[in-house]
Amino acid sequence: MSLIFQNNTIDVILNAYKGDLGIYYEPYRNHVYRVFNFCLCSDITSQNEIQKLAIASAFHDIGIWTNSTFDYLKPSIKLARDYCIENNLNIDFQDDIDSIIENHHKMSAVKNRYLSENFREADLIDLSLGIVKKGRNKIMVNQIRKKFPNKGFHVFLLKIFFKNLVTNPLHPFPIFKL
C-alpha cells in the first residue's frame, strides 16, 4: 500500500484541539500521523477502516491535554464518541473506534478486533521509536518517521510518566492493560 501522509479528518479534529494541545500540537500531530501511517502499512484498504483509524488516531491520546491526566483513555474515548455522534456515524463505527482507543496500550494481542490490534501494533512501533516493527517494512517505517519527526513527543511522555509515578506510585501505568 502506498503511504497516505495526510488525512483531512485528522487535520480537522486536531485543529479543533489546537488550543488544548498548545506547544504540543505539532509533536502530537506528528505522533498521530506516524501511528496512522504505520496502520496503513498493513492490509487496510477499506475507506471505512481508514476513516475509523483516522478518527481513532486523532483522539487516542488527546485526553492527556483536554483532561490534564495520564489516565486519559476514558476522556479520549468520550471525545471520540462525541465526534462520531456529531458526525452521524453509526454505533458500530463508534464501537470500533472505542475499542481501538481502549486497547491501544494493551500488553497482549487484541483478539477478534483486527483494527484494534493493528492500531495497538502501530502505536507500539511509534512508542519504540521504530525499533519494534511488528512486520511493517523497515524502509516504510523509516520514511514515516522522517516525514513526521518526533519533535519532543517521547520526552514529553517520559515527563508525564515520571510526574504520574510521583503522584500515583501504586498506579504508575493507568493506561496499560493486560
Neighbours of 177 (CB within 10 A): 14
Residues pairing with 158 in the sheet = none
Assign 91 to helix, strand or coil.
helix
**Three cell numbers written together for 59:** 483522539
d(CA 146, CA 101): 25
Q: Give the pLDDT score at 116.
A: 97
Of 160, 178, 154, the closest CA to residue 35 belongs to 154
Q: Give the pLDDT score at 170.
A: 63
The most distant pair of C-alpha atoms in the chain lies apart, rounded to whole Å, by 44
Instruction: Give average pLDDT by consecutive 10-residue segment, the chain, 178 residues.
Output: 81 98 98 97 88 97 93 95 95 94 94 95 96 94 95 85 69 61
Q: Give the pLDDT score at 5.
A: 84
Q: Give the pLDDT score at 115.
A: 96
**How many CA atoms lie less than 13 Å away from 92 in the CB half-sphere?**
3
Angle, helices 25-40/153-167, rounded to nearest 10 degrees: 110
Is the overall model pTM greater than 0.85, yes or no?
Answer: yes
Q: Give the pLDDT score at 104.
A: 95
d(CA 136, CA 122): 9
Q: Give the pLDDT score at 92.
A: 86
Contact 29, 14 (CB under 8 A): yes
